[in-house]
Structure 1
């Protein structure tokens, strides 16, 4: 009985009808002829209420429901959650579904409403966009069902509590893997880089066909075979590609609900996958006060799983990043010339100048690419017309910071250090473009 009352909810329809009859009883105090009508309606209301309760509770199964979750969530992406609902009643039922979402989403008004035919099974889908890596705990699945009378709702609670880990964006990984090896580069902002010369890795000698580069004609082979032969080259393979992620406090700045660190982590996952598909060795490590989370550059099958698991646990320590320590560790542990994609952020020239000697030292033995971020909020401020003195002041300061970012690019270029200045949302695309450019030009 206690369980019965806990699961029984009177609906708005009942209270509306009950209030209307109550008003009719009050009016009948002045018009006695209405008293009989009010009593009749009251009895009908009670009969319908009892009938509705019997109708909804006669079938013990009622509405059956289940939540279908992915094995893991993809950070910063829309992830699909599926709810499977079956109507075990022999009549049409109005169903309201309330799913207890993880606390990180901060949603208190989530609900799905539908009318199910007898014995009908339906699947409902909704999407969630997580913005913090870690564990996401889903609670119970609550189902409220009612008949077409609609006086009561029966609550059924399914214990579907589950924990789903939120990993770096593996959905982006799949998307960019597809476009990087197809002809759809421009669709996603990827550039097709024209090759200048060729890399040094010789593949084979083959017969000349129309369209081959005449500069690659092998005259000795041509003389022996008595027709034109050309040297064929391929991209150099097995080159070490390291993603170096700054986990200092400068990477905690949020954009579009994701921190700069999360953007860098997502880009690291994608570029590592593409590097391996391009037959290069992919590795990574993070640094702040010290270098940690190191994954040595390899091209083995399990490398992407290892990188994904390592990135899952990366967090900022809110400290000042030690570039001197970074230089020492790179010099000691990376002995072969490698491509280093360094994700960090510099807001001013002064901040760059403090670290420039260490960056120059790294760039002497490795191909270093500094990747840092535009402040998109400041850039949007420049598009707003300045009218008041306050607005003019704010716009002037914004222009100064935007200009300093461009000066940082120029300063790095003077010291022959490659750089990418990018909006956070374009980070992955621009990083892939830079990698493809370096491969095409044989810079590594």
Structure 2
């Protein structure tokens, strides 16, 4: 009893005990590991055991989060942990609670820090920064990006200049050569300011989850990255979403605030669980986008019947623009189809899975038959494969 009273006296004699602050980022990056910091100062003049309980947002459903440690007298210490949000929107942090005790451990004191805070969870801007760096360096292969050899020219004439060793002899301008009396060549530059639109299907087919994120969020993260790269490549980036109607429009521009506008628009894109209206999409694209553009359409087709219902509208869009259909592998079905089957029931399930995997390949062939480019990708590889397709199109001068 005396030991307990002594322990209580030690803990409560100091009015402050410990001080703590939680350091939160201005916004969270969806689908990424985000760092949270807790800074604690021990105001006691003795070694103290601490237990940190942080009241995390309800989206994570974590009610047993705690960190335990010890602090020497007057010691300052920084604790870090990582969180991975998977839903865009507002995340509300509750109180930061610190329990302190002496080495005797007979009593503990509760310190409550009223640090309620809200942080918005935005599309993956951390992914944006990563690919912004590697897309313009020589480290492309380390991240799955391909350096694609340019084929021919985009035929945007810049000037006539004197021939120097290394110039392509196919570009010799014979008329200018005859006038000047020495070899002259046409100089070309990459065609710039081409519109690149990301079109996000936000119908119910995009609500399917993979590794915690929906297909819609994978598409949103990829849209943010490819828009940034397009602008850095001197093209114009824009986007819109659709289901029953076209919404969230951002016209393709290369202005200073374009990326922030796209980020804020993507933050609010939500599925409405409707059947997507591709006829309405075609009408709005025809009315809204007059210049030939690269259209990156993020959607999902599971069967040939689903594709054939929308194929006439996709063909119509592809006549005016360069359309790339980006849809998703069902990685769980693919893995299941590759497993060894022993029982009759397993053989039946494996056969069904193989049928759906094969149907995805038929969808690719059907789209390519009508001259529509495609990307079939696992959700986690979506961003890399979309960047590679964009770089390929630029290199081949297809737009």
210-219 vs 412-421, greater mean Cα deviation: 210-219
Rg comparison, structure with higher value: 1
Q: By how many angstroms is 1:153 displaced?
A: 1.0
Match of 2:324 in 1: 369
Matches within 5 A, 1:178-193: 178-193=133-148
Q: By how many angstroms is 1:120 displaced?
A: 1.0
**1:114 lines up with 2:69 in the alignment:** yes
**1:85 lines up with 2:43 in the alignment:** no
Greater helix content: 1
Aligned pair partner of 1:99 in 54, 75, 84: 54
Matches within 5 A, 1:131-280: 131-222=86-177, 228-280=183-235
Match of 1:325 in 2: 280
**1:70 lines up with 2:25 in the alignment:** yes
Match of 1:21 in 2: none
Deviations 1:226-271 (A, max 9, x none): 6544333221111111100001100000000100000000001111
Partner secondary structure for residue 170 of structure 2: helix
Give the Cα separation in 2 of the matches to 1:399 and 1:244: 30
Give the Cα separation in 1 of the matches to 2:268 and 2:189: 37
Q: By how many angstroms is 1:206 displaced?
A: 4.2
Match of 2:393 in 1: 438
Give the Cα separation in 2 of the matches to 1:280 and 1:53: 68
Match of 2:384 in 1: 429
Aligned pair partner of 1:381 in 336, 339, 347: 336
224-233 vs 179-188, greater mean Cα deviation: 224-233
Give the Cα separation in 2 of the matches to 1:309 and 1:430: 24
RMSD: 1.3
Give the Cα separation in 2 of the matches to 1:229 and 1:163: 64
Give the Cα separation in 2 of the matches to 1:129 and 1:170: 13
TM-score with structure 1 length normalisation?
A: 0.88
**1:392 lines up with 2:317 in the alignment:** no
Aligned pair partner of 1:414 in 369, 375, 378: 369
Q: By how many angstroms is 1:413 displaced?
A: 0.5
Give unpaired runs (5+ residues) of structure 2: none
Matches within 5 A, 1:289-308: 289-308=244-263
Match of 1:124 in 2: 79
Give unpaired runs (5+ residues) of structure 1: 1-45
Give the Cα separation in 2 of the matches to 1:228 and 1:386: 70
How many equivalent residue pairs? Answer: 399
Shift of the 120–230 alpha-carbon distance from structure 1 to 2, 3 Å rule, reads: farther
Runs (4+) of structure 1 exceeding 6 A deviation are: none
TM-score with structure 2 length normalisation?
A: 0.97
Shift of the 228–88 alpha-carbon distance from structure 1 to 2, 3 Å rule, reads: farther
Q: By how many angstroms is 1:66 displaced?
A: 0.4
Partner secondary structure for residue 152 of structure 1: coil
